[in-house]
Amino acid sequence: MRVVVTGGAGFIGSALCRYLVTECGWQVLNIDKLTYAADQRSLAAIEGAPGYRFMQADIADGDKIARILDEFKPDAIMHLAAESHVDRSIDGPGDFIETNIVGTYRLLDAALYYWRGLAPDRQQNFRFLHVSTDEVYGSLGAQGLFDENSRYQPNSPYSASKASSDHLVRAWHHTYGLPVLISNCSNNYGPFQFPEKFIPLMILNAMAGRKLPVYGDGHNIRDWLHVNDHVAALRLIVQHGQVGETYNVGGRNEARNIDIVHQVISHVRDLSPHRTLPKDDALIEFVQDRPGHDRRYAIDATKLENRLGWQAQYDLDRGLRDTVAWYLNHEQWWQPILDRKYQGQRLGVA
Ligand code: NAD
Ligand code: DAU
């Protein structure tokens, strides 16, 4: 199988490229603009592999994308390129509109042009998988789960831009017949995640004995999905999903933010006993809440489990411990990011 992965130098995209090339033996062309969130070092494991190629390009550059598709002739496009951090979308929504909405539109148009030029059998088998988020569904109360029929109620500039892109993808199927699939997943965690996100930020701060900033009362709930479980789901969806349908992906691992923080500190203590860390209460700092902070996300992944046979392999405690161990052992990956790109400062206070 020949696939274009967009955003393959980011956190999930790089895990997907590594998985498709090494575990599945697919031919992968990674298209990435290389924004601040990209890191080619996350792809070192497949650099030089015969099944892997990289092209630097902006998905909003429709002509360039069209030329790349024409030359590579993919069987599928797996679209992950996006601005992905909610706090940055609060500080500056412009890039989110440009990439997540306009960029997705240009990519869809290039994909449609390419798809129309394919021979009938290849046209029949072609797939465009759009990777989206559970945040398009808004916020849950104490009960209930998001499923594929949940109403769209995005609350942040980020989630509104992802919701818009979902609607465009859906429209390109209904209007033009492009064979699309959409996946909406919950919060990912695992190795190679940029330290602006909650779990890696908490790990690196705990390791350094710095304060761990918890937004609001820390009772917001996220449903954590290990990135390895996510990429396995994406492979199943692109190969066996029903054209035109949506699949929700979630690990059935709900946790309050404050409980994650205690778990992270405990794993750091356990895995590096030579560190002397202050007590949890001295490390944790409750800070001003995120504006419009969604209270709870939780995914019902029954459709994916029953129809495509997917099952999450990681429970949160094991996944978190492995992730803490990975950051403890990969200072050479994260230290240059802290030196050059992001120093852990608070974002998104508006
Ligand atoms: P990320 O921020 O780590 O990586 C995004 C990648 O996209 C980067 O490599 C960046 O350079 C690239 N990119 C950005 N703008 C681009 C453009 N205009 N053209 C080409 N490349 C561009 O993001 P991530 O966490 O890996 O998320 C990947 C996808 O999954 C996103 O679409 C995101 O909305 C979605 N998602 C993420 C999560 C999560 O928890 N991280 C959960 C649900 C959905
Ligand atoms: O649900 C899927 C979404 O998960 C993805 O679509 C997004 O791309 C991804 O970034 C993530 O969004 P969140 O806003 O949920 O993730 P973030 O890591 O920014 O925050 C997770 C929770 O932790 C959230 O409730 C805010 C809180 N938080 C975050 C940071 C960075 C803190 O309490 N302190 C922090 O310093």
Q: What does the buried/exposed string (b/e) look like for 194-225 if buried means 16 or more CB atoms within 10 Å of the residue's CB?
A: bbbbbbbbbbbbbbeeeebbbbeebebbbbbb
Check 158, 189, 314, 327 and give the catalytic one: 158
Q: Which ligand is located closest to the Cα atom of residue 297?
A: 2
Nearest to 299 by CA among 236, 338, 341, 254: 254
Residue 52 CA to ligand 2 centre (angstroms): 31
Q: Quote the CA–CA distance of 256 and 327 in Å, as a whole number.
A: 22
Closest atom of ligand 1 to CA, residue 185: 43
Residue whose entry in the numeric block shows the structure tokens 């199927």: 173
Residue 84 CA to ligand 1 centre (angstroms): 5
Q: Quote the CA–CA distance of 188 and 13 in Å, as a whole number.
A: 12
| Residue 37, amino acid | A
Query: Is 134 one of the annotated active-site residues of the chain?
Result: yes
Supply the pLDDT for residue 273: 85
Residue 343 CA to ligand 2 centre (angstroms): 17
Check 39, 58, 87, 135 and give the catalytic one: 135
Tell me the two tokens of residue 150: 């949940």
Ligand 1 mutation pick, 35, 137, 192, 201, max ligand atoms within 8 A of CB:
35
Indicate the helix (H) or strand (E) that contains 52. strand 52-56
CATH architecture of 2-194+226-253+296-315: 3-Layer(aba) Sandwich (3.40)
Supply the pLDDT for residue 275: 87
- CA torsion 332-337-340-343 (nearest 10°) is -120
β-partners of residue 255 are: 222
Supply the pLDDT for residue 350: 76
150 lines ligand 1 (CB under 6 A): no
The residue contributing the CA closest to ligand 2 atom 11 is 187
DSSP single-letter state for residue 78 = E
Query: Is 259 one of the annotated active-site residues of the chain?
Result: no
Residue 25 CA to ligand 1 centre (angstroms): 23
Cβ(202)–Cβ(224) below 8 Å: no
Supply the pLDDT for residue 67: 98
For residue 3, the SS3 value is strand
Burial class (CB in 10 A: 0-12, 13-18, 19+), 246: buried
In this structure, how many other beta carbons lie within 10 angstroms of the beta carbon of residue 274? 4
Q: Which is it for the CA torsion 25, 70, 99, 301, positive or negative?
A: negative
223 lines ligand 1 (CB under 6 A): no
Cβ(296)–Cβ(245) below 8 Å: no
Residue 147 CA to ligand 1 centre (angstroms): 22
Q: Quote the CA–CA distance of 206 and 79 in Å, as a whole number.
A: 34
Mean pLDDT, 10 residues at a time, the chain of 350 residues: 99 99 98 98 98 98 98 98 98 98 98 98 98 98 97 98 98 98 98 98 97 98 98 98 98 97 97 91 97 98 98 97 98 98 94
Cβ(30)–Cβ(36) below 8 Å: no
**What phi, psi does 302 have (nearest 5°)?**
-55, -40
Cβ(80)–Cβ(5) below 8 Å: yes
Supply the pLDDT for residue 70: 98
The residue contributing the CA closest to ligand 1 atom 19 is 58
32 lines ligand 1 (CB under 6 A): yes
pTM to 2 decimals?
0.99
Query: Is 158 one of the annotated active-site residues of the chain?
Result: yes
Cβ(37)–Cβ(194) below 8 Å: yes
Closest atom of ligand 2 to CA, residue 159: 6
